[in-house]
Structure 1
Amino acid sequence: MDWKLEGSIQKTESPVLQGHEGILEDTGANGILESFQLLQIDVECECQEGETLPTGNAAWCSKNVWRKQRHWEKIIAAKKSKRKHEKERRKANRVENPGICPQHSKRFLRALTKEKLLEAKHSGPRLCIDLSMTHHMSKKELSRLAGQIRRLYGSNKKAERPFWIYLTGFTTDSPLYEECLRMNDGFSSYLLDITEEDCFSLFPLETLVYLTPDSEHGIEDIFVIFIIRKVFNCDLQKVTFQKAQEYSVKTARLPIQEYMVRCQNGKNYHSKILAINQVFDILSTYFDTHNWPEALKKGVSSGKGYVLRNSVE
């Protein structure tokens, strides 16, 4: 019984097999090529009109991949065309207005900034940021201080006559250093001096002026080395003044009370304590203009509760 069924199956399938074998025998390699051509035609029919698949040795990709690639190529072509038109526009503008200086490239501006900062290291005014008290600060206060250092450095790079900055009492294994690396891009390559030494051991004491709001003397001019110590804790605010007295170093304050007066505000808040970047903006502006009202206006925000005397009068 099994033999008969098996035989019947063989008889049923044999014509088909024989047919294929006959085709292969008759056509040989040409038959195989025709079969692949039929498969290729079927695949091409699946594609939308206007889309072509890679041929030859190119790897086969899905339609979405090729669609994204063509979209990206269009974007690149548009950017190249835009740059070309912008270059032609600048060229035509230089021909029409020969007296206008050409716009400098970013590379040139970076090199110019670096040159000015390195020149300030040898002949410019110096500013020390005393960071020896940062171990008293909270995580939030450290983040705020790291942001102030970033803004101070940014303002110094833009200044016509920049200062040379020292971050003293600053260790590379401190939480503040880690916060500066986290918040400030390129902090490790800032053009300034970072040292663990105390500011009083770096320079002759007679050349130093400690900036503190508790001093009785206003700043007279900028020919010496200024020290700023940032303390967020109100209980430690007078530490700067006591530290300067301990080393017999001159103290000074910004001339806020000479040129500014209190203004009324809803919170009845008045403070002469500024962020280190605000103090720097005042010193830098005065160094360029020798105008205290203009310099104070630059650094003392309205939120401190003080305005210039002339604006009130």
Structure 2
Amino acid sequence: MSSSDSCPPVTIDSNNETKTTSKISSGTEHLPQKDEKKGTNDIKTEKDGVGTDGDSSSITKGQADGAIQSGTEKPLSKNQLKKRRRYEKAMEVKKRRKEQEKEAKRAKAIADGRDLDEERRLQAEREKSGEGHKRREELWLKRMKTADTSFKICIDCSFESEMQRKEIGSLAQQIRYCYSANKRSKNPVYFSVSSLSGETHKQLSNVAGFPDQWVGRAFDCSEKSLLEMHTDKSKLVYLTADSENILDHLDDSKTYIIGGIVDRNRLKGITIAKAKELGLETAKLPIGSYLEMF
């Protein structure tokens, strides 16, 4: 090591005290300097402008802001972005359709000479007094009389362990559709769900009013098994496409079981195997007789 590398140059002031006058010129002044406000990974060379980790990909300000706001959340992939855009577009279409339907109803009401403002005022008064709720209950109970003499439907949710999370979400959504359609039907039937637990129950629990406002409206659900909810085997018919029996009429004394599966044809034969295990009668809907399958 030279003397210039071993100690800094000095000067002597009037009091014979030494002071450092300059730094050693060792070439380090040409290296990129670390910004004290940034981490070491923020240092970039003047040559190629890439980070010290060698990642040459650029990050936009929006992505950086998103990363800061979301903490450890990773940026969305191209596929995820496409799905998000499709969902947002579908929601926009749905919103426009609802607005168009609302406007069409309004135009029809005006053409029929109805006073919409007066109708809304009367409806608000009925809701405030509780008369509106009472009237809806009376109409519902009147329609419910048909369910007392009709066949019943039960969805068997004992296959959750065989399904993927996305499939379970689809199943929960279809149960909601079934309940909603049955509630609006002019001829509702008793509709139950057995073996309802785990993720399926968790997703349904996110729906407002479930299960307290559902139960008693031609609906029942339980974590109990199928035979615990419906003990008379002679009145149960398990619907499965693998059955050799074609269901050509509905028996009002029967409860028809639907396997709670959304499997995209992965789990073939699972429902008929379950029916045989339980010793239940099976049948399949006559879809092929009325629809052409491709």
Using structure 1 for the length normalisation, give the TM-score.
0.47
Structure number with higher helix proportion: 1
Structure number with bigger Rg: 1
TM-score by length of 2: 0.50
